[in-house]
Chains A and B, each alone.
Chain A
Amino acid sequence: MAESKSLLSASNLTKSYGGVRALDTVSLELSTGETVGLLGANGAGKSTLIKILCGLVTPDSGSIIFEGRQVGPLSPKVSEQLGISVIHQERHALENLTVAENIYLGREPKIGPFLDNRSLNADTQVVLDRLRLDVSPSTPVQDLSNAQRQMVEIARALSFNAKLVIMDEPTSSLSETEAERLLTIVDELRSQGVTVLYVSHRIDEILRIATRTVSLTDGKNSGNLAGGEMTRENIIQSIIGRTEAARRSESRVAGEARLVVSNVRTTKYPDSPVSFEVRRGEVLGITGLVGSGRSEVARVIFGIDRPVGGEVTIDGEPLSLGDTLNTIKKGVFLVPEDRRNLGVILDFSIERNITLPSVKDAGGPIVSEAGSRSMAATQIKNLSIKCATMDQPVSSLSGGNQQKVALGKWLAKDARCLVLDEPTCGVDIGARGEIYDQIDALAKQGLAVLMISSDTDEVLTQCDRVLVFSRGGVAGELSRDHLSKDAIMRLAI
């Protein structure tokens, strides 16, 4: 076998967002025709690395050599011309167009001003044959299964003569048989000399198809494995960070159960009943990989989604599931993950946002301007929201202060249980500490706090007990004494 040729060599890539270093002097070497698994926990820097390679993000420093030549700043266009294609997690196929129209979107063959349908379909057939895909070029994409759509995306990448195909969690929304079919396609690509960078949490898949693995932890390279070293155990070791964050020194005292979730089955994972309880005065953490069904459970508790089955009670009273107004009346509140679209109304002032859930509590039909302003002032002070006036729109605040507003609107009401979904995502370190202090204070007041987080450090430091979710179910529970990154990662994967 000939010496494999270097296709891409990226070195010392560094990228910071605000004060947060997402990538720290990361290097990546890829040779022609190999399949490399890229691994890392949530927030380890995989997405940032991919975005740099496909030209969506410009690194602060570092260099990229592609096929022996130094490449300047990448843009999506340049990256595509070089032969780098990304199959994204969420597919971008246009449903109303056919397979062929999707693959050649924007570069359709023409005869004069008219679409040349014949060569469009013929060209597409060639690409589909390369992948041994049994789909007609003229099938509308909306008639295809998830897996087939994904393969259309791969076909599109091939039609650009892609030399490097990056797949970002390609099997996360596929069934097992569909996933298997996709893995066969990846093998097919390799046999045709296409390099594949395969990003996945699923170690089994990596072991099945990758020739090598590259791991990232906290934005840094944390080990490359090849050949015999590529074992499940070694891979897990390589993605667990070595540093353990400092624990919260004092422990809280948990009382009786307040929020009890029994056999809740969400529409996304109807076969995985979830049961747990959150006690008075405790912060229960829920962690797990993105897509493991954590937010779905939160939405059921808050009454946004109706579950397939199951029951939730607060202090013994059942919540009427699917009825957010009733849930709020019972004192169970949610700070959603999507802060900008669901947590706050960006164009509304701080005052209006904070008082939105409670203006009607005063009873009368007319808003007491003074009452409303003093309520907002209390929360602004309580949460140290940094603003010039309470009348400025929330959109003008930093992410951390927006999150404080999203939290503050519930603190103005009587809470029994607070569900926080990724409460510090995109929040700077200062505001993060203030939010943690607030959560601690709430727990001490006797609230039951449920904190969903992908940030292992946050879960380790802030929670009294942690549930690890995996594929829709509770994979395990870790008490404070048994909490470690290692234990969490083992359950999550």
Chain B
Amino acid sequence: MLNRYRKELLLLAVLVVVCIFLTIRNPQFLSPTNLQNITRQIGMYGILSIGVAVVVVTGGIDLSVGSMCALLGVLMAMGLVEKKMPPAVVIPGILAIGGALGWLHGILVSRLKLQPFIVTLCGLLLYRGAARFVASDESKGFGDSVGFEPLKQLATGSVAGMSTAFVLFLIVTVLVGVLLHKSVLGRHLYAVGKNSEAARYAGVNVLRVETIAYVIAGVCTGVAAILFAFYTNSIAPSSHGSYYELYGVAAVVLGGFSLRGGEGTVIGVVLGVILLQVLQNLVNLLGVPSSLNFAVMGFVILIGALLEKAFQKKAA
């Protein structure tokens, strides 16, 4: 059992050490305001990362989620504010568009055998362009317009002392956790990731399983896009969501997933996401120049990969 969750335990240990260090250096870390803030970030990035994780399990990757956040955010703001469409139409619509784009990625990868990196890189470029075009390269948002308070609560509010985004993240985590670790589809996802040919010889519908993974990533991106849009309140189509795909991939890799597929647990991604956000927080709280933000992230992921290799050798 210990061996099975070796990666996750290692990650948890690192997380605890970082948190203790951070608390000692700046007790502000544990202040309610900071915790509210950090859990909100964890919630939003977490939902995004979990979608990416499902794709990575199959041996794929999704680089399009950042641009998709921008496109979906712009569309949502325009639908709600400019077209005055009812939220009950727009919100499901945004999720449906996310799922449909994911389905398209899935079809291109599974049926047309294009490489996931290429397909979703094209998505990254296409959706960014589309977002800027439909918004005429202007920021779209809610400004002071009234009537969206309940929706805004999703991103900025809190439930029972926890930020709503974090609660949503927990729900998504449980759902995807059940999917990956308890369901038939989950077993097929891992089988396809480990060895898609052998899975095919065992009667797994490889094409369908792969496609579903991208659809899940698309829907998760849709949920995250809604939260990010209300959180920032104003969506600049040229920069909103930039690098989010890298946050997603970073969290997944840090969480013990192999980019070759077939490995990783939901607990792993959750820990990965939390660690990344705590590191962001560390940069702020310790007065590290914020220009070093990404460098700290890169450094920690590298250390994590090295530690993992070292432990792997020891175990073997």
Residues of A within 8 A of B (CB): 302, 304, 324-325, 328, 334, 336, 341-348, 352-353, 355-357, 359-360, 362, 364-367, 369, 409
Contact = CB atoms under 8 A, between A and B. Distances in A.
A325 B191 contact: no
A312 B178 CA distance: 40
A347 B184 contact: no
Contacts of B204: 356-357
A18 B184 CA distance: 38
Given A352-B191, A357-B203, 10 more contacts: A328-B203, A342-B198, A344-B198, A345-B191, A345-B195, A353-B202, A359-B187, A366-B182, A366-B183, A366-B184
B197 A356 contact: no
A342 B185 contact: no
B184 A359 contact: yes
A186 to B, nearest CB: 38
Contacts of A345: 191, 194-195, 198-199, 202
A347 B198 contact: no
B25 interface: no
Contacts of B185: 365
Interface of B: 178, 182-188, 190-191, 194-195, 197-205, 262
Contacts of B184: 359-360, 362, 364-367
**4 pairs of A and B residues whose beta carbons are closest in the complex:** A328-B203, A357-B203, A356-B202, A342-B201
A164 to B, nearest CB: 38
Contacts of A324: 200-201, 203
A287 to B, nearest CB: 23
Contacts of A304: 200-201
A362 B197 CA distance: 24
A348 B198 CA distance: 11
Contacts of A367: 182-184, 186-187
A113 B197 CA distance: 44
A332 to B, nearest CB: 11
Contacts of A356: 187, 191, 199, 202-204
Contacts of A355: 187
Contact of A366 (B178, B201, B262): B178
Nearest to A347: B194
18 contacts: A342-B197, A342-B201, A345-B195, A345-B199, A345-B202, A348-B190, A353-B202, A356-B187, A356-B202, A357-B203, A359-B187, A362-B184, A365-B183, A365-B184, A366-B178, A367-B182, A367-B184, A367-B187
Contacts of B178: 366
Nearest to A339: B198
Given A360-B184, A365-B183, A366-B184, A348 B203 contact: no
